[in-house]
Structure 1
Amino acid sequence: MSYDILAFDPGCVTDADFSEWWDAQSEWTEDHSYSDVGVTTADLQVFYRDLAQVFPPMNGPGAPTGEAIRDDPELESRTSSYAIGTSLVYVAFAWSQAKEARRVFGALAEKHGVAVAWVSDNSSIVRP
Structure 2
Amino acid sequence: MSYDILAFDPEATTDDGFERWWDDRSQWTEGHSYADPQVTTPALQAFYRDLIRAFPPMNGPDAPSDEQLVEDPDLEDRLTDYSIGSDLVYAAASWGQAEAVRGEFERLGRLHGVAVAFVSETPLRIQR
The bucket for the TM-score relative to the shorter chain is: over 0.9
Q: Which structure 2 residues correspond to residues 37-76 of structure 1 after superposition, within 5 A? A: 37-76=37-76
Aligned length, in residue pairs: 127
Map Cα deviations across residues 50-104 of structure 1 (whole Å, 9 max, x no partner): 0001100000011011111111000000010000000000000111111111111
DSSP-derived class of the 1:83 partner: strand
Task: Flag as ranges the 4+ runs of structure 1 deviating above 4 A.
Answer: none
Determine the C-alpha separation between the residues in 1 that align with 2:57 and 2:51.
Answer: 10
| Shift of residue 5, structure 1, vs aligned partner | 0.5
The match for 2:110 is 110
Q: Deviations over 1:96-125 (max 9, x none)?
A: 111111111110001000001001112211
**Following the alignment from structure 1 to structure 2, what is the Cα–Cα distance between the partners of residues 104 and 18?**
21
* Residue 125 of structure 1: aligned partner: 126
* Structure 2 unaligned blocks of 5 or more: none
Is 1:87 matched up with 2:87?
A: yes
- 1:14-53 matches, cutoff 5 A: 14-53=14-53
Specify the SS of the correspondent of 1:7: strand
Q: C-alpha separation between the residues in 1 aligned to 2:47 and 2:108?
A: 6
Identity across the alignment (%): 57
Equivalent residue, structure 2, for 1:11: 11
* CA distance in 2: counterparts of 1:16 and 1:96, whole angstroms: 30
* 2:46 counterpart SS class: helix
Matches of 1:16 and 1:100 in 2, distance apart? 27
* Residue 99 of structure 1: aligned partner: 99
RMSD of Structure 2 on Structure 1 (CA): 0.6
CA distance, structure 1, for counterparts of residue 71 and residue 120 of structure 2: 31
Query: Gaps (5+ residues) in structure 1?
Result: none
Distance (whole Å) between structure 2 residues aligned to residue 11 and residue 108 of structure 1: 17
**Aligned partners of 1:73, 1:14: CA distance in 2, in Å?**
41
